Structure 1
Amino acid sequence: MTWASNIADLLAGHGIRPGDRVAVTGPRGAAVVAAMLATVSAGATYVPLDVEYPVRRLEHMAADSEARLLLFSGDEPAFDLRAQAVRIPDAPDLSDQEAIAALSRLSCRPDLPVYVIYTSGSTGLPKGVALPHRCVDNMAAWQWQHSVRPDLRTAQFAPLNFDVWFQEVLGTLCGGGTLVVMPEFLRRDPIALLDWLADHRIERLFLPYVALHMLAVAAEAADSLEHLALAEVNTAGEQLVCTPAVRELFRRLPGCRLNNHYGQSESAMVTVHTLTGSSDDWPALPPIGRPLSGCEILVDPTEPGEPSVGELLVAGAPLSVGYLHQPELNAERYVTLDRTTPQGHRRAFRTGDLVRVEGDTVHLLSRIDNEVKIRGVRVNPLEVDACLLEQPGIVEAVTVVVDIAQGSRQLRAAVTSDVGVGEFDAARVLKALTELLPEQFIPVSITVLPELPHTPSGKADRAAVAAALAPSSP
């Protein structure tokens, strides 16, 4: 009996049946992975609850998901539950071959939800979205088939409630690779992370752009990177910016390739762009690439005369079942199309992302609700970020739109710097931007912060930055 099989027997003993939901919580580690595999093998739906989240958020997720059971490792949960809590049993002795064989026997029905994951909601509480086998299987199969090797040693970097966690775990185990669980504190310590990657001979890494940039900055202080075994880096969750530090990192890792992934919690992985050739020639804002097999993308133009620019819609294999207990939101975001698509689909997800399509390649522009025109000119804040990050002394940069009066908006930027606040010359940086960008793209101010706020998944929290930079009320 394997570890996952033992846990599956425990679930059956507690009356868990196909279609039930099982919540799982605990520190990052093999126990959580085994509990996920056991839940899926029982035909139930896995609901991750990240112990790093606030108690109120966890209680909402546990209640909203209607989980029938909670499996936990480590300390007993500190939040109130409506379900029985059961400790995950210890691991038995088993070989890697037994574990892989057990994984290959997991039950699979295309429409059966594999997991429910919670994403930000406009009400201040997260909303749950259910991802079925046809979606998750498509993502996992693509991952191990597309990688430089299917059996790579992969770091388990993503937080429990981030959808990339499933790409790391399933994309590695399904290809016969080794998943190396990373200590939680390393997510916030790029210098120590660099040493850990070398010590554990990590070959594949998934991380958000912000974390990649900070890792690249940390690597600049290293005399050599020959001790690293990295063969593949995958970034997702937000627009990739090829900063000077990122270019230098891959210049010093000529055997390592960089994949830019795109997807949402509601549609898993949709497109990918692999950067090739000299990193010196990479664009500052790489495209998000082409759709995976089984995925169809559509563009709903936002303006007449520009059919290649508009909101991105996703159809086919990546689509989730929908939001839990949110019929109005499902009707708004998961739409029935007027006519069948070229690949035979009638249902699509409105991503809310503004894109431009050139040939068969997709470029991410911004969020539809963050699209801004300054004096009649469409401005992409990400392009401003990229130019800021080219300036000496700037480590991180986020450009946001702030409302200064009704109908009046401005661009403002927040940065972190490796020079003292009193030594940072914002006027010099703004002058440098005028040589790179049109007038409408220049932020009215640059504010140096001790650190930029981030979401739990590691993305830059643009809403928090905008709130911090907004003008004070009179």
Structure 2
Amino acid sequence: EAQAARAPDAIAIVHGDETISYGELNARANRLARRLMLQGIGPDVVVGLALERGVPMMVALLAVLKAGGAYLPLDPDYPAERLAHMLGDSGARLLLTQATLQERFAPVLEGSGAEAWLLDAAVGEGSGDAANLDIAIDPENLVYVIYTSGSTGLPKGVMVRHGAVANFLATMAERPGIAREDRVLGLTSLSFDIAVLELWLPLTHGAQIVLADRATAHDPAALKAVVVRHGVTMIQATPSSWRMLLDHDGAGTWLGEGCRVLSGGEALAPDLARRLTALGGEVWNLYGPTETTVWSARHRLDAADPSPMIGAPIGNTTLYVLDGDLNLAPVGVAGELFIGGEGLARGYWNRAALSAERFIPDPFGSAGQRLYRTGDLARWRGDGVLEHVGRADHQVKIRGHRIELGEIEARLRAEPGVRDSVVVAQELGGSRQLVGYVSGDDALDGAGLRAALGAVLPDYMVPSRVMVLPQLPLTPNGKIDRKALPQPDARPADAQRVAPRNPTEAALATIWAELLQHDEVGVTDNFFELGGDSLVAVQLVGRIKRDLARDLPLKRLFQLTTIETMASALAADPLVNTRSDDIAAMFDALNEVEFAHE
């Protein structure tokens, strides 16, 4: 509101060819906020948001907060069952969405008791008073509720406070810093909390958001064009996404001079850290769980020392490395990382017992202060920099998403015929991927189990491969021995590679081999078992479009998992290239698939 008063004509958001000024954005949000208040939206009242990336999404976000409410992001790509749980569990009675998503969310709304508002309908945001509202907000009131993976088989909602977000924005404005002249790339889905930096930090400092739509966000060439066209000065992305971008253009010549590079959401590999620092601009490694509000620590890398450390805490944040008795671990000794300070969330929605387990009393602070137990192992270096060591539990990060392996295991055990299950993260085909192992009936089929998981879990939580074993290996004390699980082979040892038999198969084999970094690829090999994931799938669709002049819908790729079936489908539909000049066409299926940034 202060920025809108200072410079109402300044551009707040650029989205494709559309722009909106601070004054107009503020006025539209005020009108919608008044409509929301008439529906009883106020402090700690949750409002569901299911909107495509664009100006209406930003209007809705601001309006919910202006009315005093808290937003619940609902990604249209998630399975309906998961969305229904999130909407029902949150108690949201209102869902802001669009006509294009109405059919998708019909089964989600069923039985939830929530009403859907279509923001692109005639009534839309309303046409009433556009003046600022005067709503009292307490630092303890909720800004948003974001659901993360849960070990019980159902996601859990993290309740994030206004005070925590305000503290986060204030300290990030100092380092890495932001100015009115900055243009920040809005790359991340609203369902991933790191979007808070990309959306709120620019708007609170008079800077500009360059909002990338879903198609552009996953097409390296299109994304590069957006960055160049708008002179983007700050880009935040996960290491998986940075690797995808640099693999497309390793020189990084499309990054403007002085463009700040922010990486977080998963561990930054040393080789990628070196590639990023070689670009010449500022490079920041960021760390923090959802429960402590986006980022809790930061570390600036440089060419002389590109080591990707956790670094030091952001403002009003404490980092403790503790042993099993909650005593401070000496410098150089690994222990579990606990986080305290202003960034802590209120807890988990309707999960008091779990909140008490993860948010413990601060033994080093005053009465009422808490620490969040991260489950990460870390150690302090002699120079006061914090180094990440690993995990203390069975939680992993895949393409920036924190995943409770227990949730996937619970889903597997719920399938008919499965007696027991375990899921691990392994390095396959040059990337970190999930592999599931089950025991049970002889009729169990790994591919069938994988398909069943795809119906109830986001794509990033579906294992690349599910192996059926006679029984799971056990340790002497009867627990599953994860270290004794067999390493999955991309191609069984007794299977022979089937060579390409026609030009289309040969061309596809070349593309697959390059993207998956394999010397040879057979036409019956499975894309996902060779190490393919959603990020690589996007690149594959782009290469097919470029090299074969075919528009293969992305959702078809998840059905055509071999070169043999893919080539047959392309041959059977000679008209699939009719929209070859439309970059967005190859992403028509994105409403059904979850990707790395989300």
Q: TM-score range by the shorter chain?
A: 0.7 to 0.9
Does the CA contact (< 8 Å) of 2:262 and 2:283 recur in 1?
yes
Q: CA, structure 1 residues 414+361, in 2 after alignment: closer, same or farther (shift >3 Å)? A: farther
* Aligned-residue offset at 1:405: 2.1
User: What residue ranges of structure 1 are gaps of 5+ in the alignment?
Assistant: 94-98, 373-387, 389-393, 426-446, 461-474
**1:423 aligns to what SS in structure 2?**
coil
Matched, 1:243 2:271: yes
233-242 or 193-202, which deviates more = 193-202
From the two aligned structures, give the one with the greater strand fraction: 1
**CA offsets, 1:304-363, max 9 Å, x none?**
9964311111111110000011122112111124x333x877311111111111242111
Q: CA, structure 1 residues 92+198, in 2 after alignment: closer, same or farther (shift >3 Å)? A: farther
**1:206 aligns to what SS in structure 2?**
strand
Aligned partner of 2:211 in structure 1 is: 181
Match among 120, 137, 141 for residue 170 of structure 2: 141
The higher relative CO (CA closer than 8 Å, separation ≥ 6) is in 2
Aligned partner of 1:293 in structure 2 is: 315
111-120 or 16-25, which deviates more = 16-25
**1:243 aligns to what SS in structure 2?**
helix
- Map residues 381-400 of structure 1 onto 2, 5 A cutoff: 396-398=430-432
**2:270 aligns to what SS in structure 1?**
coil
Residue type of the alignment partner of 1:449: L
Residue type of the alignment partner of 2:187: F
Residue type of the alignment partner of 1:270: S
Distance 1:211 1:419 in 2: 14
Match among 349, 360, 369 for residue 324 of structure 1: 349
Q: CA, structure 1 residues 400+10, in 2 after alignment: closer, same or farther (shift >3 Å)? A: closer
Q: Percentage identity across aligned positions? A: 30
Matched, 1:32 2:32: no
**2:42 aligns to what SS in structure 1?**
coil
**2:217 aligns to what SS in structure 1?**
helix
Q: CA, structure 1 residues 91+22, in 2 after alignment: closer, same or farther (shift >3 Å)? A: closer
Distance 1:206 1:82 in 2: 37
Distance 2:517 2:298 in 1: 38
Residue type of the alignment partner of 1:288: I
Match among 352, 369, 378 for residue 346 of structure 1: 369
Distance 1:344 1:294 in 2: 17
* Aligned-residue offset at 1:298: 1.3
Q: CA, structure 1 residues 141+108, in 2 after alignment: closer, same or farther (shift >3 Å)? A: farther
* Aligned-residue offset at 1:229: 5.6
Aligned partner of 1:155 in structure 2 is: 185
Does the CA contact (< 8 Å) of 1:158 and 1:457 recur in 2?
no
Match among 148, 151, 157 for residue 122 of structure 1: 151
Does the CA contact (< 8 Å) of 1:270 and 1:295 recur in 2?
yes
Residue type of the alignment partner of 1:85: A
TM-score where L is the length of structure 2: 0.60
Distance 1:266 1:140 in 2: 16
Residue type of the alignment partner of 1:267: T
Does the CA contact (< 8 Å) of 2:516 and 2:532 recur in 1?
no
* Aligned-residue offset at 1:34: 1.5
- For the aligned residue pairs, the C-alpha RMSD in angstroms reads 3.5
Distance 1:239 1:86 in 2: 39
Aligned partner of 1:46 in structure 2 is: 71
17-26 or 115-124, which deviates more = 17-26
Q: CA, structure 1 residues 8+287, in 2 after alignment: closer, same or farther (shift >3 Å)? A: same
* Aligned-residue offset at 1:136: 0.6
- Map residues 368-383 of structure 1 onto 2, 5 A cutoff: 368-370=392-394
- Map residues 28-107 of structure 1 onto 2, 5 A cutoff: 28-75=53-100, 76=102, 77-78=105-106, 79-80=108-109, 81-88=112-119, 107=136
Does the CA contact (< 8 Å) of 1:48 and 1:117 recur in 2?
yes
**CA offsets, 1:258-286, max 9 Å, x none?**
111111111112100011245xx412xx1
Does the CA contact (< 8 Å) of 1:219 and 1:249 recur in 2?
no
Say which one has the larger Rg: 2
Distance 1:11 1:305 in 2: 48
**1:147 aligns to what SS in structure 2?**
helix
Distance 1:160 1:457 in 2: 13
**CA offsets, 1:164-212, max 9 Å, x none?**
0111111111111111110202333223322222123221111111101
**CA offsets, 1:239-270, max 9 Å, x none?**
111326x534542x32x211111111111121
Distance 1:272 1:215 in 2: 22
Residue type of the alignment partner of 2:298: V
Does the CA contact (< 8 Å) of 1:19 and 1:43 recur in 2?
yes
Does the CA contact (< 8 Å) of 1:417 and 1:448 recur in 2?
no
**CA offsets, 1:52-79, max 9 Å, x none?**
2111111111111101211113422332
* Aligned-residue offset at 1:401: 9.5
**CA offsets, 1:367-402, max 9 Å, x none?**
111599xxxxxxxxxxxxxxx9xxxxx984328899
Aligned partner of 1:357 in structure 2 is: 380
TM-score where L is the length of structure 1: 0.75
Aligned partner of 1:378 in structure 2 is: none
Q: CA, structure 1 residues 273+422, in 2 after alignment: closer, same or farther (shift >3 Å)? A: closer
Deviating 4+ runs (over 4 angstroms): 89-93, 302-306, 399-404, 410-417, 419-422, 453-457
Matched, 1:172 2:165: no
Distance 2:38 2:597 in 1: 40
